Each structure stands twice: as structure tokens, then as C-alpha cells.
Amino acid sequence: MHLHLKERKYYEERYDDATVEKCRSGERIVNKTFTEMEKKLPKKELTDKLPGWYLQYSLYYFWFVESAAAARAEGRDATIAKWMQEDETKDQKLAAAHISGGTYCRTCGKDMRIISKDYMRREGRKDDDILIMFECHNCNKRQALWQDGTEWEGAKHECEKCGGKTTSKYTKKNNIITWTETCEKCGHVKTDTLDLSDSKKEPEPVDPYLELDRRRFVFDSGMMFKYDQKLKHLARMAKLHATAADKVEHVDVFDAIKQIKKLKIAQLKELFESVFTKNGYSDFKLGDPQIGREVSLDFSCLDTKDDREEYQSKKTLHKAIEKALIDTNWRLMSAGVSYRLGYLTASLRAYESEEELRKLVEQRMKSGKFPIQPAEPKEPQEPARKPGLDMRESVQVYFDKLTLGSVPAEITLKSGKVKPTSLPVLSGEMNPLLRVFIPMRDNDDSVPKFIRNYDFKFGDDTKIPKVQKDSRGRKIRLK
């Protein structure tokens, strides 16, 4: 009986080899794409924008190779456990398979014994069924039955010319097996041979890079950590560009946010005192601020007009507060103004972050009560307006080991005198989290040359123009 369950190493190698093939496929696509691009691009274009082209390669490699390897690593243990369980279940079913009632030899009537049990493809069945082979210990006749007791009929062969039934015979001579199929209807004969001699066997091709690529593409915990770090960093980079693009698309909203008056509590109190007095309210008092995820503030006052009814008093105060706060970062909370016997109370909320201020501005613009006339959104021009990136965030996303240095130079004054000076030089490297973190094979010609030779550095002294001008138009020359 053939056992299906094997040592865990067999399943690990089976899974890992599939991982290697998937990652190799992605790697071939990326390398081929950028190799062709390298051939077509003008040399100056590639040289001047080398960091950008490397970053594009790294992004493509991340999605086609590194992400594929990470996904395979995440599912590795579960898939191997599933395969082993399936094979163990197969073996259990195979061991328990039997024919109810026993079997008897059709030739001599003696008991038959089981000599093999195997899974076989059965016509009309989706899954393999168990075929049990019996042998008579008396006359050595054999019989094959499916586990439900149905006799195995063998494979059906049809004539390739007329479709009639054929009979098969085979002979073996000097390690050569010859099959002969003869049609019972038209007499057509088909012959095939199989040479079993060792000299004819072709050796299996050896994959020289299999072990190396297993180490490259089968991620351990260290490689998964690198993947997670890069994934988070790319999400940070995407957010940087999305924020910049959003500010261009909604320039009217962000221009309005700049015009919002961000009042401190002391400034708010000063503003309200004059507004309340002007509208006939006195004894204005602010409560203690409630500080949590947001800042809220209660206040109270007295209505000094004896003839003003509750509805009118609340309406007047509500309107006065909204008008006073319309261009500030404060608003009256949704509960509105409460009134008891001329004593009025309400709550205010402050908006601090850019995200909160945006929501506040959009609400006010939608209601049509916003007093500021924001700039109209600009139509894209040619060339299209590029989003303005947050400079500090851009530096943290793209660069590493930034150093501000200087190189010696000299400047010629109007008097003709040459004076020594220096030019600032900013140097650094590409952020490691933007680089391909799967190691390349040594001397791998399939990788584009500009990728293999890139050193991730910028700010080379040799690339500084030999002659420059300062802010006053004077020429500065490198020494």
C-alpha cells in the first residue's frame, strides 16, 4: 500500500519551490521591463534622474516580488499543515478500505487476499476512488474491485480511425516494452515502444540557483520584519503625496483654513464680552475647559432686557455667537442655548488640528455662511501644477544620513580682488526603506545595469558646477 503522508521536509520543499518559481516569475517581469527601458532612455535622462528610476524599480520589485514572497511566507505553515492533514486522512481511508462480505475466486471458489490498495481515477467521479486488488492464494488469479464492490473494468481504448473497440497486448525484450493495440472492427494496428535501459534516460536538469533562491525568496522572521517596515514606509510616502495632491485639488478649502483665526481661551473671552454686552447680556462667565480628545468650554450669562421672551433671547444669543465665531476655530455645540428665568447657558468646542479645521471650514462653506472668499480652484495648466510636498516629511521619507558640508571656492570682488570662500554641499543617501531588500545574485546580468551599479548616494562634490553666481551676481569658482 502506497503511503501518502511523508516527512515535513518534503512538504516544506514542495511549498518553497513553488514560492521560488512565483518570485522568479515576478523578478523576470520587472528586470525585463526595466532593461528594455534602460536601452530606450537617453543616457542623460537616466543619469540625471537615476534616484527616481531606481525608486520606480524598487516599487515594482516590491509589488511583484517582495509582496509575493511575504504572502507566501504568511501562508506557509497553514498550507503545509493542510497538505499533511489531507495526506494523513488519505492514508487512514486507504487503511480502512475493505469489501463487505469478503471475496471469493471466480475460478476456484477459494478465499482471495488483498495485495494492494490504491487511489485511482474513476470515470464519473470528481475525486479519486480506492481500488482494491485481490489475489487467490490457491490459483493466483487476480481481481480488482472498487471499495463499493463494483468490478474494475480497466481503461477503455478506442480505435483512432473508426472508434471501434481495441484489444491490447505487450511484450518485453531487452528492456524494451512494445504495446500493440488491434481494432476488432477495422483491423487497424497501433504500436508504441518504451526503452527502459539506463543509457537512454536523460538526467534531470540541475537548477544551479535553487538553494540560493530559496534563501532569497523564502522569508524568515527577519525578512518579514524588513517587509513590514518597507510596507509601512511606502504607505507613509503615499500619504505624503496624497496630502499634497489633495491640497492642490481643494486649494479653496486650504486657503480658507489659513484665514481662520485660531483664538486662545483668553482671546475668546475678550471677544464674547463685547458681543454679549452689545446684545443686552451681562455677567458673562466661562467655565473650566474640558480637555480630552477635543476641547470644550461651558459659558453662562444673564439677559438684561426684561421684555425679551425666552425664544427671542435664545435666538438672539445664538445668532450673535455664530456671527462672532464664523471666522474662528470655535463653534457653538449642537445642543444650542439653554434658558431658565433669563439665565442662559451653552457649550463651545475648539478645533485645533488641520483635519478638524478642514471639516469645520467645509461645513461652513456648505452652509453658505462662511464670510471669507476663498481662492477659486485652479484649472491644471501645462505643465500641470505639481503638488507642494511637506518639506520636513519629504526629507524623512526619502533620505538618510544627511550631511551639510562645504567645498573651498573663491569669489572675485568688484575691485578685482580674489577672496577665498566656500560653497555649501548637502550630501546623503537614499532611505534604506526605499531600497530593494531581497539580495541580488552576484553578477546577475538579468538585473538592469543601472540598478546593479547604483550606490544610493547624492551630493557628490564632482557634480557641483565649476562656476556659480551668488545672490549679488558675483561669480564663485571652485578651487
Q: What is the pLDDT of residues 96-124, one digit of tens each?
A: 888 877 788 888 888 888 888 888 888 77
Is the peptide bond preceding residue 383 cis, with omega within 30 degrees of 0?
yes
Rounded CA gap, 121 and 103, in Å?
A: 23
Q: pLDDT band for position 137 (50/70/90)?
A: confident
Pick the CATH number of 152-201 from 2.60.120, 2.20.25, 1.10.12, 3.30.1380: 2.20.25
Under DSSP, the state recorded for 261 is: B
User: In this structure, what C-alpha cell is assigned to residue 397?
Assistant: 521619507
What average pLDDT score do residues 265-288 get? 91
Rounded CA gap, 261 and 269, in Å?
A: 14
Sole residue written with cell 537615476? 50
Q: State how far the alpha carbon of 210 is from the alpha carbons of 174, 214, 417, 444, in Å.
A: 37, 6, 68, 15
In Å, the largest CA–CA distance within the chain is 128
* SS3 at position 368: coil
Mean pLDDT lowest for which of 207-211, 238-242, 261-265, 305-309?
238-242
What average pLDDT score do residues 11-16 get? 97
Closest listed residue to residue 391, CA positions, set 426, 418, 347, 356:
426
- Does pLDDT of 384 surpass 50? no
Mean pLDDT lowest for which of 159-163, 189-193, 374-378, 409-413?
374-378
* SS3 at position 123: coil
Q: pLDDT band for position 170 (50/70/90)?
A: low
Torsion from C-alpha of 65, 71, 73, 78, nearest 10 degrees: -150
What average pLDDT score do residues 380-404 get? 74
Q: How high does pLDDT run on average in the chain?
A: 86
Mean pLDDT lowest for which of 424-428, 445-449, 464-468?
464-468
What average pLDDT score do residues 268-282 get? 91
Which residue would you say has higher pLDDT here, 344 or 163? Answer: 344
The confidence score (pLDDT) of residue 476 equals: 86
| N residues, the chain | 479
User: In this structure, what C-alpha cell is assigned to residue 103?
Assistant: 471475496
Closest listed residue to residue 23, CA positions, set 202, 237, 209, 291:
209
Q: List the helix and strand counts (H, then E) for the chain.
A: 12, 17
What average pLDDT score do residues 455-459 get? 86
* SS3 at position 342: coil
Chain-centroid distance, C-alpha 105: 64
Rounded CA gap, 461 and 425, in Å?
A: 7
Torsion from C-alpha of 127, 128, 130, 134, nearest 10 degrees: 150
The confidence score (pLDDT) of residue 373 equals: 55
* SS3 at position 29: helix
Chain-centroid distance, C-alpha 14: 25
Mean pLDDT lowest for which of 11-20, 131-140, 165-174?
165-174
Listed in sequence order, the residues at least 6 apart from 182 whose beta carbon sits closer than 8 Å to its beta carbon are 166, 167, 169, 188, 189
Listed in sequence order, the residues at least 6 apart from 286 whose beta carbon sits closer than 8 Å to its beta carbon are 265, 268, 269, 272, 297, 298, 299
- Does pLDDT of 232 surpass 50? yes
Mean pLDDT lowest for which of 309-318, 359-368, 432-441?
359-368
- Does pLDDT of 386 surpass 60? no
Closest listed residue to residue 281, CA positions, set 343, 213, 366:
343
Q: What type of residue is 4? A: H
Phi-psi region of 280 (alpha: psi -120 to 50; beta: other; left: phi over 0): left
User: How far separated are the first and last CA of the chain, in Å rounded?
Assistant: 86
What average pLDDT score do residues 141-150 get? 84
Element (H, E) at 270: helix 265-278
User: In this structure, what C-alpha cell is assigned to residue 114?
Assistant: 488483498
Q: pLDDT band for position 435 (50/70/90)?
A: very high
This prediction has a pTM of 0.66
Chain-centroid distance, C-alpha 134: 56
What average pLDDT score do residues 315-328 get? 90
Burial class (CB in 10 A: 0-12, 13-18, 19+), 221: exposed
Mean pLDDT lowest for which of 12-26, 254-268, 282-296?
254-268
DSSP class per residue in 220-250? -HHHHHHHHHHHHHHHHHHHHHHHHHHHHHT
Rounded CA gap, 314 and 418, in Å?
A: 78
Sole residue written with cell 503511503? 3
